[in-house]
Amino acid sequence: MFEPASLHNSNYEDDIRYTVQVHRLILGLIGMWPIFKKVQLRKRLSKVVLRTVRCFLLSFNLIPWALYMFLILDTFKSRLRMIGGLCFYSMVPAMYCTLMLWENNIRECMKHIEKDWQNVRDANDRRIMLDRAKAGRFILICATIFLFTSGFSYRLIQPIIRGKIVVNENITIRPLVQSNYFVFFDPQRSPAYEIVFSMHLLTGIVIYITMASVCGVTSLFTMHACGQLEMLAAWLEDLLNEDQSKNNYVVAQRLAAIIMHHVRIRRFLHRIQNLVGEMCFIEIVGSTLILCLLGYYVITGWERNDALSSLTYAVMLTSFTFNIFILCYIGEILSSQGSKVYITCCTIDWYWLPSKQARHLILMIAMANYSTKLTAGKVFDLSFSSFGAIVRTALAYLNLLRTVTV
């Protein structure tokens, strides 16, 4: 089982393609999928141009919003209705820049996954890895559906349903996605209106794909690590196979392979933490504030008998809550899988091993006892308890906000 000649999966290319298919599509749409081979200068240049266009779209969304909020609006309540969007439109560019900064780390993690697929040992290991790959795909697909459903209910459906508004002096205001202040032109005149409306929709696609990419990167690498830990626990349980337990050399070889693979997993987890820690911190902190504000918008919309506004913000509230829950769920799965490896290390029939080899398990137990938690910026753990704390914090701020604004 552990002979070097057997450490090759002839179908690894198909397995890798299945693992990263959806993630490559999502990341490729925003130019974040890493380049593994040497490509022509023209292709690299086109990638730089596309990233520049995406940064322009994110700025086109943020800057006019901020100008309208600070230069046009002059009351606290009117600015309060805009601050949720300001937080969101500031959070997304920060996550996009973080993705660009860690592109090399994404490439190294992908090489690690490819090497693991090449070295699949048997059908059971392959089944475990495929199950985790399927879970990672499912998480990304669900997150993308939630984000686009909530986003386009706000950016497309709500403006269309509201229709045109006639104000004083018979001035007709055509609906835009959001209130903005454009210094150099009037967005209500054609063709400026059509261009601005289209760019808002295009910007929405970039925004929601960026948020889905953060979730996708986290789910892809973390679920792969969970699969490797699950395999490691299976190897430990099979360490004292009845047919081979009497062969000290075979047992020593298997134990050495287990320890080396555990070290490899720990290094991979450290790389994952460096990659996703900052992005998760930005999303968790920003989303906590946004949850509070969305709850406020739902309540105020209901008080104004604005059912469309309340429904739209309720859908967005559900989407943001789901996004935070998914990140915490991934962290919880990783933590529980690490605990399973530790428990397996402590409960195998180590007393059947020769005394010299049994002592080697001390290193394994020490490594397994070290937490495998995923943290948001090394500030707090991603777990179900953290999700509960985030929701309670958002509700506390919402209660405070309602008290101040009544």
pLDDT tens digits, one per residue of 234-277: 998 887 764 455 567 777 788 888 889 999 999 999 999 999 99
Q: Is residue 193 part of a domain?
A: no
Q: Residue 3 — pLDDT band, cuts 50, 70, 90? A: very low
CA distance 308 to 323: 23
Give domain status of residue 91, yes or no.
yes
β-partners of residue 167 are 171
Residue 160, in any domain of the structure: no
Residue 122 is given by DSSP the state S
In this structure, is residue 92 part of a structural domain? yes
Domain hosting residue 25, numbered range: 4-142+203-405
Identify the pLDDT of residue 5.
38
Q: What is the mean pLDDT of residues 225-232?
A: 94
Number of structural domains the chain divides into: 1
pLDDT 10s digits, 15-74: 899 999 999 999 888 888 877 666 556 767 777 888 888 889 889 888 988 888 888 888
Q: Kindly state whether residue 187 falls inside one of the protein's structural domains.
A: no
Number of residues assigned to the chain: 406
Within 10 angstroms of residue 24's Cβ, the number of other Cβ atoms is 17
Report the C-alpha gap between 200 and 229 in whole angstroms.
43
**pLDDT computed for residue 6 by the predictor:** 45
> What is the average pLDDT across 341-353?
83
Q: How many CB atoms lie within 10 A of CB 101?
A: 11
pTM of the model: 0.89
Query: Which among 406, 323, 376 is positioned nearest to 140, based on CA atoms?
Result: 323
- Rounded CA separation 255/323 (Å): 40
| Residue 191, in any domain of the structure | no
Residue 284 has pLDDT above 60, yes or no: yes
Buried/exposed code over 35-74 (b: 16+ C-beta within 10 A; e: otherwise): eeeeeeeeeeeebeeeeeebeebbebbbebbbebbeeebe
Distance of alpha carbon 129 from alpha carbon 227, whole angstroms? 5
Phi, psi of 370 (to 5 degrees): -70, 130
Taking CA atoms, 14 is separated from 9, 126, 135, 226, in Å, by 10, 12, 17, 20
Percent of the chain whose pLDDT exceeds 70: 92
- Would 188 be classed as within a structural domain? no
Helices (H) and strands (E) in the chain, counts: 11, 4
